[in-house]
Amino acid sequence: MDPRDFPETADIHTSTDEYAGRFRGASGAWMLATQLELTRKLLAPYPVTELLDVGGGHGQLANPLSEAGWKTTVLGSDGSCAHRIRANIDAGRIRFQVANLIDLPFPDKSFDVVLCFRLLTHCGRYPVLVKELCRVARKAVVVDYPTGESLNAIAPMFFGAKKKFEKNTRTWRLFRHAEVRDLFAANGFRRSGIKKQFFFPMVVHRMLKAKAASAAAEGVARALGLTAWLGSPAIARFVPDEKA
C-alpha cells in the first residue's frame, strides 16, 4: 500500500517541528519530563526491553528510552515522521519503519511492550488501533489519552481560544476511563496501572509560560489528590488478562 493511502495519518503532524513548538521553553520541557517520569513508572516492571512505539515520531518517548538502552522500533505513517528521531536512527538506537498504523506489519506478540502516545485521541478508527496494539504486544500496552472526567470537560467551550493560541490545534476526542478499559478488555487486556499527568489543562501551562508557577500549582493539586481524581491526560498500562 502506498503511504498516501493509509487511513490514519495523525502522526505526521505530531512528528513535525511545528508541533514540537508546543513544548518549547522551560514549561514545555517540564511537561514532557512529567510525561516521561510517569511513563517510566509504568514501564518499571519491564526494564530495558523490546519496545514498539506506534506513531512515535514526535520522539517524546522514543528518544529518551532508546538512549536509555531500550530496543526501540518506531512506526510512522510517512517517511517524514522520522525527522525528530533521526539522530537516534542514525546512531542505530531506533529502527524506523513506514507502515499502516491500524494494520501493523508484525506477527502476533512481536514486542514485549507497545507504546502509543499522541495518537489515540486523533485516530478516527481508534477501536482498530487498540486491537492492533494488543495483538502485537507480549507483556503490556501503554497509551495516553485525554479524558472528559477532568477539567478538560469544559475544553470544547474554549476550543476557539485554544486554536487561536496554539495555531496548530486539531479536533480531538475525549475518552471516559471506562470506555478505554472496555476497548482493551474486548481484546483480552486489563488495566494494571494508570497515571494522571496534570490537574490543570495543558494549554493553561503553555499560556502561562511560567514553569515554577505551573509546577507549584500542579504540586498542590497532586498533594490534595485532585490530579489522581481529575487529572488529564491519562497514561494507562494494559496487560494480557489471564482470565479472558
The answer, yes or no, to whether the previous bond of 233 is cis (omega within 30 of 0) is: yes
Q: Who's near 229: CB < 8 A, 6+ residues apart?
A: none
Tell me the pLDDT tens digit for each residue of 81-133: 999 999 999 999 999 999 999 999 999 999 999 999 999 999 999 999 999 99
Question: Under a CB-based contact definition with an 8 Å cutoff, are residues 95 and 66 in contact?
Answer: no
Domain borders along the chain are 3-238
Question: What is the pTM for the complete model shown?
Answer: 0.92
Nearest residue to 52 via CA among 126, 7, 100, 110 = 110
Nearest residue to 116 via CA among 191, 51, 210, 21 = 51
Q: Who's near 72: CB < 8 A, 6+ residues apart?
A: 51, 52, 53, 62, 65, 66, 88, 93, 94, 95
Question: Under a CB-based contact definition with an 8 Å cutoff, are residues 82 and 70 in contact?
Answer: no
Q: How many C-beta neighbours within 10 Å does residue 124 have?
A: 11
pLDDT band at 155 (very low <50, low <70, confident <90, very high): low
Q: How many C-beta neighbours within 10 Å does residue 210 have?
A: 14
For residue 119, give the amino acid letter: L
Q: Is the pLDDT of residue 169 over 70?
A: no
Would you state the cell numbers that stand for residue 67, as one nine-digit string?
538512549
Tell me the pLDDT tens digit for each residue of 58-85: 999 999 999 999 999 999 999 999 999 9
* Residue 48 β-bridge partners: none
CATH, domain 3-238, list 3.20.110.10, 2.30.30.90, 3.30.230.80, 3.40.50.150: 3.40.50.150
